[in-house]
Amino acid sequence: MTTKIVSNPLDRSNLGEIQTEVVHIPEPLELSCGLSLIDHVLCVETYGQLNKNKSNAVLVCHALTGNHHAAGWHIGDKKPGWWDNVIGPGKSIDTEQFFVVSPSNIGTCHGSTGPLSINPITNAAWGPNFPKLQISDWTASQRMLMDHYKINCWAAVIGGSLGGMQAMHWSITYPDKLLSAVVIASAMKLSAQNIAFNEIARRAIKADPNFHHGHYQEKNKKPLQGLALARMIGHVTYLSDLSMAEKFGRELLNGNFLGEKSESIEFKIESYLNYQGDKFAHGFDANSYILLTKMLDHFDFGSEHSKQPSAAFEVASCKFLVLTFSSDWRFPPKRSREITKALITAGRDVTHAEISSSQGHDAFLLPNSRYQKILGTFLNRIALNVNC
């Protein structure tokens, strides 16, 4: 199907029409947990045009709670896709040069096969019984998606955070299927602190009385309070202390400290987090959130090959760009330096840059001229090889 993009005075992407498609993949997908999906669907958006020899395709890998709507405006949108500042004509991921493929991955709740989908065996929603996933399952599904578009090799596989982990996994699992990998604000495995934050978020969801051990759909319920709290926890980790200070400080939204009861006083940061939590809770699925955070926790680059990262990277043949942001404390610059060091040890072609930013982990989603220029310059060089 085709989704028409409405004009917006603030939008300069000129994407025209976004191609939105629910792709049915009829072949069984063997999962890392030992189970399999007899078939599955992926909701996909594409931007730009595939060239005659199908060599200019770019795979965009979303992060934890991302989806297929990476760029442009849908009718009724209050804001564009989550990476609109880098995808479009003349932008870093230039849709005049590349055909950009952006899927919602399995296990998510945006139209692709996941906990909200019907289990063909039980004829009921999968719910908490959806199979456990690893990043290898996402890349295997994306590899099957290539066949739908008759693409033999990606010009680039690009992602931030969890998306960067997918790009790394692509480079060693299907080394002949990509020319470049862009790894942004990512890591080869989570720290104990990151795992702890994810477990606190999951506990918040499970403590909601409407969770019902994950079977809330059957009872026509939804754990909105728990899911909102989980998002608030996560959202704080995506920001930096400086970005919160610059945006909110200790400014009050309601009340004052002159004789008012404390419950009448609300800081702007409180209002912001409550709004973000409630909005997320109404648009995301709790079982998906639990499933995906567990998948993120379990990623350990190279472990499934029983190799150290540098040894695992030795099979990679693509060029790499590794980007990190100075104020990111969830995936700090030292994690990206570890990736780069492993690539250098493996003798791979890698470019590394640390971007100055006060925006924390969310910086990879936000406009930054140096970030966008480095990404665009790297991809322009790749484009010379695929569009000649």
- Picking from 63-77, 196-210, 220-234, which range would have the lowest pLDDT averaged per residue? 63-77
Q: Residue 106: its pLDDT value, please?
A: 98
- CB count within 10 Å of CB 246 equals 11
Distance CA(180)–CA(198), nearest Å, equals: 30
Q: Residue 275: its pLDDT value, please?
A: 95
Q: Residue 13: its pLDDT value, please?
A: 45
What is the enclosing helix (H) or strand (E) of 66?
none
Q: Is 297 noted as a catalytic residue in this protein? A: no
At residue 165 the predicted structure's pLDDT band, cuts being 50, 70 and 90, is: very high
Mean pLDDT, the chain, rounded, equals 92
From the candidates 208, 243, 361, 362, which is the catalytic residue? 361
Map residue 101 onto helix, strand or coil: strand
Residue pair 288/108 in contact (Cβ under 8 Å)? The answer is yes
Spell out a b/e string for 182-215, using b for 16 or more CB atoms within 10 Å of the CB, else e.
bbbbbbbbbeeebbebbeebbebbeebebbeebe
30: tokens are 């063997």
Q: Residue 258: its pLDDT value, please?
A: 58
Q: Residue 302: its pLDDT value, please?
A: 83
Mean local confidence (pLDDT), 357-371: 97
From the candidates 327, 328, 352, 357, which is the catalytic residue? 328
One-letter amino acid of 376: G
Q: Residue 77: its pLDDT value, please?
A: 87
Distance CA(270)–CA(232), nearest Å, equals: 10
Residue pair 352/259 in contact (Cβ under 8 Å)? The answer is no
Residue pair 21/44 in contact (Cβ under 8 Å)? The answer is yes
From the candidates 13, 112, 161, 357, which is the catalytic residue? 161
64: tokens are 């934890």
Q: Residue 360: its pLDDT value, please?
A: 97
What is the enclosing helix (H) or strand (E) of 182?
strand 180-184
Q: Residue 341: its pLDDT value, please?
A: 97
Does the pLDDT value for residue 388 go beyond 50?
A: no
Residue pair 178/151 in contact (Cβ under 8 Å)? The answer is no
Q: Residue 28: its pLDDT value, please?
A: 97
Mean local confidence (pLDDT), 129-138: 98
Q: Residue 40: its pLDDT value, please?
A: 98
List, in order of start, the domains of the chain with CATH numbers: 2-189+304-386 (3.40.50.1820), 194-294 (1.10.1740.110)
Q: Residue 307: its pLDDT value, please?
A: 77
Distance CA(322)–CA(341), nearest Å, equals: 11
Q: Residue 209: its pLDDT value, please?
A: 98
Alpha carbon of 102 to those of 5, 8, 39, 46: distances in Å?
16, 22, 20, 6
At residue 84 the predicted structure's pLDDT band, cuts being 50, 70 and 90, is: very high
Residue 47 sits at φ, ψ, to 5 deg, of: -135, 140
Does the pLDDT value for residue 88 go beyond 90?
A: yes
One-letter amino acid of 382: I
Express each pLDDT in 10-44 by its tens digit: 343 456 568 899 999 999 999 999 999 999 999 99
What is the enclosing helix (H) or strand (E) of 77?
none
Does the pLDDT value for residue 197 go beyond 60?
A: yes
Q: Is 24 noted as a catalytic residue in this protein? A: no
Residue pair 109/285 in contact (Cβ under 8 Å)? The answer is yes
Residue pair 175/153 in contact (Cβ under 8 Å)? The answer is no
Mean local confidence (pLDDT), 171-191: 98
How do beta strands 36-37 and 87-88 pair? Answer: unpaired
Q: Is 161 noted as a catalytic residue in this protein? A: yes
